[in-house]
Chain A
Amino acid sequence: MNEKGIVFNIQRFSIHDGPGIRTTVFLKGCPLRCEWCHNPEGLEYAPQIRLAVNLCQLCGRCVAACERGCHEITEAGHQLHLESCVRCGACVEACLVGALELVGKEQSVEEVISVVARDKPFYEHSGGGMTLSGGEPLAQYEFSKALLGAARAEGLHTAIETSAMAPWEKLEKLAPLVDLWLVDLKHTDSARHKALCGVPNELILDNIRKLAATGWPMVLRVPWVPQRNAEESFLEGLKKFLPTLDPVPEVEFMLYHRLGNGKWLGLGGEPVMPDDIPNATAEDVLPWIEQLASGGVHSKTS
């Protein structure tokens, strides 16, 4: 219980990350850099400043509090210059309305689990539990392992949402503590994967194969992003790759939405995805579902 990790959110009443009502623990840091990331605050390992633009009253207290000129109030609003930010938190202290926040906090297993366990009766009535997400939980492997162990000791259902970008040994060691694997698959072609997500995918595909072969409960989650991975080569790749898994896991398409874009601004960055890429719809994905079905693979949209 003394293990510590960097947590950027503990979201109670999560209902999309596994069965029932869940508490999702978001761990900071991710080895991937997917263009469409909708949790950009989870990418970096270290805590960072975030601004809720619409809560900011433009009072300028943060400007005065910051010794490094990270904040500026102009006619265009609150400008962030976080290149030189050392995460001292002085601006957060100074903000009266809670518009500034230090995203990511070092927390012990005990601290996290004490929050997670608060909703035990809700898990019992809904078949829910705890989900680890991020960022990439495997990037904080020891902490994740300790959290899962502690949740297990509390008798909770556990799930982990991961890119599977980690040595197989780590996944294998976590397995006895995980009731449900939610594994992302972003492209089957390694070069395209590297272009879109910053890393090649051999390790990921290999881990997915092994995970499937163990028979551990798993859902493959496929983000479907127009003008990015929603391309013929990925569909063809899926048609080839999925039937080789034994057994074939459940496949869920995650529809791209632009809602992650605004988050980049609050972190002092610019969204990577251009604004003109439309949201994906269930209809868009239908042909993929049908084609996979004709190859005997069942899939659905989330």
Chain B
Amino acid sequence: MIPEASCDLGALMEPTSRIKRLRKRVVEAALTPPDSSEAALAAARSWLAHGGYPSHIWRRGRLAGDILRGLTPVIDEDELLVGKFSRRPLTAEEAEELANWRRYGEPATSKAYGQRAHMAIDYERVLREGIEGVLSQIARYRARLDTSRPDQQEQDFFYQGCEEALKGALDLSDKYADLAEQQAALSKSPRRAKELRAIAERCRKVPRKPAESFTEACQAVHFITFCMCAGNQMLLFQLGRPDRYLWPYYKRDLEAGKLTRTEALEYLDCLGFLLNEYTPRGLAVGYMVGGRDEWGNDVANELTYLALQSIHHTRLAYPGIGLCWTPDTPDELLELASRLLARGYSHPALFGDETISQGLARLGLPWRDACLYTHSTCVEITPIAISNVYVASPYYNLIQCLHDVLGVPPVGGQPDPEAPEIGSFEVLFERLRARIAQAVAQGTAENNMAMASRAQAGGFPLLSCFVNDCLALGKDIDQGGARANWLEASFVGLANLVDSLVAIRRLVFEDKKLTLKQLREALVADFEGYAEVQALLAGQPKYGNDEPEPDELARELTALLLAECEKHRSYWGDAVVPGFFCWIMHEQLGRQTLASPDGRRCGFPFADGSGPAQGREAKGPTAMVCSVTGWEHAPMIGGIAVNFKFQPTKDPDALVGQLHPVLKTFLAIGGFEAQVNVVRREELLDAQLHPELHRDLVVRVAGYSDYFVGLSPEMQAEVLMRSELNEG
């Protein structure tokens, strides 16, 4: 670490005026989605111009290069890093040209099925070698080939495609340099002119050549990421681990007096803003910091702090920053994270580094790769620089699996004429297992078909240049060139399934208060006329309250799902890995699913992630943590998300004392991922209208804390009044 007594990186730093101006513009720009029709037009022209070339892999490389060459560069006021989509509207002729292509040409091109992006490329290579370094490596590989052999001819096509794509990236970078020079010449502000000349210089140098300074490294990282998005026509590239790959540059420049912390932070802020500019809402892009390196050292450095500080500056949907926690993570760092979360910011998410690395090692990754992973968007884990992992592929509806066993159709379907005869809970559980096994086999087959089709007709040479070991093997990422080719499944509705099974076991098989037939009728009727059945179901023990019965079932079910996944392999022979997160699918799948035996109404969202279902956490966060860590997280590399909810305090820093130890304990006892919601007034109001959905809402009463919905109406009014004061 570099000593600088005056700088407290744990205290929140205010943004510079440049950052404030940029943020204002980014927030306004967020209203209109990024426009990539220019890229679409360039793609159309490329397909038409090169349709007759003998290799589709080469064509796809050329396509990426042509798209990048077809983009109009744009540099806005105050920007330090450059590279984004122009918002230039197409001319009438261009629009017609594109429309004609979409109508007559595009349907005949090969479609890329399955997962796209959701990974971080080999940024270290970008910085260390530059594109020219990669090109000369490709030249060496090509020189070794004997193209009279068919397999090596294939490899040569791939390499040529890579060259085409990389040259497009170089051309675009040059265009940016030209534009920056033009703007510098016209700028009335000598200060901005100087910045623009520096931008031009950087764009001439990186990512063409190795980066030699922090600012060059930032530009190279951003620019190559933008090229990945534009050139491959896919979004959702993560930035990997900037506090590792930028660290040597940062340290060197800071020590040489060429960089200040404030400047470095401005660049990180700019990286964040640009992600917002070209990522549509509702997706998830970001990066990770912290964690351990392959030698067991905790990585946390000044850049780790600065990355968290930039959350306070950007306060936007992206980047989604993940902080990887180890027992050696400095307490001040977790405290800084807690301070941000206490303010109601939704970042950072906290990841249990040892749990995740352990899980990756179990999948057979060498330890070095197991220590270098990223959340691929939300919480699904994928190794950096080697990944062709299909995440959330697919999302499984666990409740519909149970419903299929009970003879309850999806929304809009016809119930089986007769309820199935199920004599014991054990029989029911076994039928459920068999149904899940069938679903997993089918989901795996569908994704393997996507991988197979991509092997035949896909190809992303630009991306393959930075995913190992594609270049070394001379194989595109779609041809199996990547080192990790897992399928990650995501099971949605774990808490609902656990709660449903507890209710069925107790009410149908133990207490015999219900028959399966009655239960099925009540579910199909969405409890209309069956209010008592719903109340009975709702009154059973729920997952998330540290109760032995549901927690034991959660253990059994998660183990079962892992075992079912382990029976399968991906198209490229790699593992099928379970996960338990949902992105927005708890809502979508919930909408397609009738009422469930946990008391959930038809169409209502499933539990949001791996924690308890909405409103069922009635014993506070510590009991919730005991429940959700009651099953093993490490093998669930497909992702686990646990939502924590806290009531905001007048002074956000006062909340840190609660957040910090809860999060730390969760991570220390094997928790995979924690995200924090600090509850706002709107939720209190909604809790009054729908108390059943907010049983977990804890409020400070004074002298003690209590559950909001358990308070009398008068007390609720009091708390609400106070919350108004709090937020005023």
Q: Footprint of B on A, CB under 8 Å?
A: 11-17, 20-21, 24, 38-39, 52-55, 57, 59, 96-98, 118-119, 121-122, 124-126, 128, 254-255, 257-259, 261-263, 265-266, 279, 302
A257's closest neighbor in chain B, by CB? B702
A22's closest neighbor in chain B, by CB? B622
Q: Would B711 and A262 count as touching, CB distance under 8 A?
A: yes
Q: Would B622 and A11 count as touching, CB distance under 8 A?
A: no
Binds A, one of B38-46, B412-420, B460-468, B655-663: B655-663
Residues facing A in B70-90 (CB within 8 A) are: none
Docked CA distance A13–B645 (Å): 13
Nearest CB of A to B212, in Å? 43
Residues of B within 8 A of A126 (CB): 657, 660-661, 665
Given that A97-B539, A257-B701, A259-B702 are contacting pairs, would A21 and B622 also be in contact in the complex, using a CB cutoff of 8 Å? Answer: yes
Residues of A within 8 A of B536 (CB): 96
Given that A13-B705, A254-B703, A259-B701 are contacting pairs, would A122 and B719 also be in contact in the complex, using a CB cutoff of 8 Å? Answer: no
- Give B569-588 as 1s and 0s: 1 = Cβ < 8 Å from A's Cβ atoms: 00000000000000000000
Q: Would B622 and A254 count as touching, CB distance under 8 A?
A: no
Report if B704 contacts A (CB, 8 A): yes
Residues of A within 8 A of B535 (CB): 57, 96-97
Residues of B within 8 A of A53 (CB): 712-713
Docked CA distance A119–B627 (Å): 12
Residues of A within 8 A of B657 (CB): 15, 126
Known A17-B704, A263-B712, A266-B712; 16 more pairs at CB < 8 Å:
A12-B620, A12-B623, A13-B662, A21-B622, A21-B662, A38-B702, A38-B704, A55-B691, A118-B623, A122-B625, A125-B665, A126-B661, A128-B661, A259-B719, A265-B712, A279-B718
| Residue in B538, B669, B700, B715 whose CB lies within 8 Å of A97 | B538
Q: Would A261 and B662 count as touching, CB distance under 8 A?
A: no
Docked CA distance A97–B534 (Å): 9
Docked CA distance A55–B535 (Å): 11
Q: Would B701 and A21 count as touching, CB distance under 8 A?
A: no
| Residue in B539, B665, B698, B710 whose CB lies within 8 Å of A122 | B665
Q: Footprint of A on B, CB under 8 Å?
A: 531-532, 535-536, 538-539, 546, 619-623, 625-626, 657-658, 660-662, 664-665, 668-669, 691, 698, 700-705, 709-715, 718-719
Q: Would B622 and A125 count as touching, CB distance under 8 A?
A: no
Q: Would B709 and A13 count as touching, CB distance under 8 A?
A: no
Given that A125-B664, A255-B702 are contacting pairs, would A13 and B713 also be in contact in the complex, using a CB cutoff of 8 Å? Answer: no
Docked CA distance A122–B669 (Å): 10
Main secondary structure of the interface of B (DSSP, over half): helix
**Would you mind naming 5 contact pairs between A and B with Cβ atoms under 8 Å apart?**
A12-B619, A38-B701, A122-B625, A125-B665, A258-B718
Nearest CB of B to A142, in Å? 25
Docked CA distance A13–B657 (Å): 12
Q: Would B712 and A54 count as touching, CB distance under 8 A?
A: yes
Docked CA distance A12–B623 (Å): 7
Residue picked from A12, A128, A255, A265, most chain B C-beta under 10 Å? A12
**Number of residue pairs A-B, CB distance < 8 angstroms:** 111
Docked CA distance A244–B5 (Å): 45
Residues of B within 8 A of A13 (CB): 619-623, 662, 698, 705
Residues of B within 8 A of A257 (CB): 701-702, 718
Nearest CB of A to B170, in Å? 51
Q: Would B702 and A21 count as touching, CB distance under 8 A?
A: no
A275's closest neighbor in chain B, by CB? B714
Residues of B within 8 A of A38 (CB): 701-704
Residues of A within 8 A of B665 (CB): 121-122, 124-126
Given that A52-B710, A53-B712, A266-B712 are contacting pairs, would A254 and B668 also be in contact in the complex, using a CB cutoff of 8 Å? Answer: no
Docked CA distance A96–B546 (Å): 22
Nearest CB of A to B216, in Å? 41
The 7 closest A-B pairs by CB, nearest first: A262-B712, A126-B661, A13-B620, A96-B535, A125-B661, A262-B715, A262-B714
Residues of A within 8 A of B621 (CB): 13
Nearest CB of A to B529, in Å? 14
Nearest CB of B to A91, in Å? 15
Given that A21-B658, A121-B668, A263-B712 are contacting pairs, would A14 and B705 also be in contact in the complex, using a CB cutoff of 8 Å? Answer: yes
Nearest CB of B to A69, in Å? 23
Residues of B within 8 A of A261 (CB): 714-715
Q: Would B709 and A54 count as touching, CB distance under 8 A?
A: yes
Residues of B within 8 A of A11 (CB): 620, 704-705
Given that A125-B668, A258-B718, A262-B715 are contacting pairs, would A118 and B546 also be in contact in the complex, using a CB cutoff of 8 Å? Answer: yes
Given that A38-B701, A121-B669, A262-B711 are contacting pairs, would A12 and B718 also be in contact in the complex, using a CB cutoff of 8 Å? Answer: no
Nearest CB of A to B287, in Å? 27
Residue picked from B661, B669, B703, most chain A C-beta under 10 Å? B703
Residues of B within 8 A of A52 (CB): 710
Q: Would A20 and B661 count as touching, CB distance under 8 A?
A: yes
Residues of B within 8 A of A266 (CB): 712
| Residue in B531, B669, B702, B713 whose CB lies within 8 Å of A57 | B531
Residues of B within 8 A of A263 (CB): 712, 715
Residues of A within 8 A of B532 (CB): 59, 96
Residues of A within 8 A of B704 (CB): 11, 14, 16-17, 24, 38-39
Docked CA distance A16–B691 (Å): 25
Docked CA distance A38–B714 (Å): 14
Docked CA distance A16–B705 (Å): 8
Docked CA distance A261–B702 (Å): 13
Docked CA distance A265–B711 (Å): 11
Docked CA distance A11–B669 (Å): 22
Q: Would B661 and A21 count as touching, CB distance under 8 A?
A: yes
Residues of B within 8 A of A262 (CB): 711-715
Residues of B within 8 A of A125 (CB): 661, 664-665, 668
Docked CA distance A279–B664 (Å): 36
B692's closest neighbor in chain A, by CB? A55
Docked CA distance A114–B24 (Å): 53
Docked CA distance A53–B700 (Å): 20
Docked CA distance A11–B619 (Å): 8
B698's closest neighbor in chain A, by CB? A13
Nearest CB of B to A224, in Å? 11
Residues of B within 8 A of A57 (CB): 531, 535
Docked CA distance A259–B700 (Å): 11
Given that A54-B713, A96-B536 are contacting pairs, would A254 and B702 also be in contact in the complex, using a CB cutoff of 8 Å? Answer: yes
Q: Would B712 and A96 count as touching, CB distance under 8 A?
A: no
Nearest CB of B to A301, in Å? 10
Residues of B within 8 A of A54 (CB): 691, 709, 712-713
Nearest CB of B to A178, in Å? 19
Docked CA distance A13–B711 (Å): 18
Docked CA distance A16–B699 (Å): 12
Docked CA distance A261–B669 (Å): 40
Given that A21-B658, A96-B532, A259-B715 are contacting pairs, would A15 and B705 also be in contact in the complex, using a CB cutoff of 8 Å? Answer: yes
A20's closest neighbor in chain B, by CB? B661
Residues of A within 8 A of B661 (CB): 20-21, 122, 125-126, 128
Q: Would A259 and B711 count as touching, CB distance under 8 A?
A: yes
Nearest CB of B to A167, in Å? 26
A55's closest neighbor in chain B, by CB? B691
Nearest CB of A to B720, in Å? 12
Residues of A within 8 A of B626 (CB): 118-119
Nearest CB of A to B550, in Å? 15
B655's closest neighbor in chain A, by CB? A15
Docked CA distance A59–B709 (Å): 20
B623's closest neighbor in chain A, by CB? A12
Residues of A within 8 A of B625 (CB): 122
Docked CA distance A126–B625 (Å): 15
Docked CA distance A138–B333 (Å): 42
Residues of A within 8 A of B700 (CB): 16
Nearest CB of B to A79, in Å? 15
Docked CA distance A20–B662 (Å): 10
Docked CA distance A279–B715 (Å): 12
Residues of B within 8 A of A24 (CB): 704
Residue picked from A39, A122, A124, most chain B C-beta under 10 Å? A122
Docked CA distance A263–B669 (Å): 37
Q: Would A302 and B703 count as touching, CB distance under 8 A?
A: yes
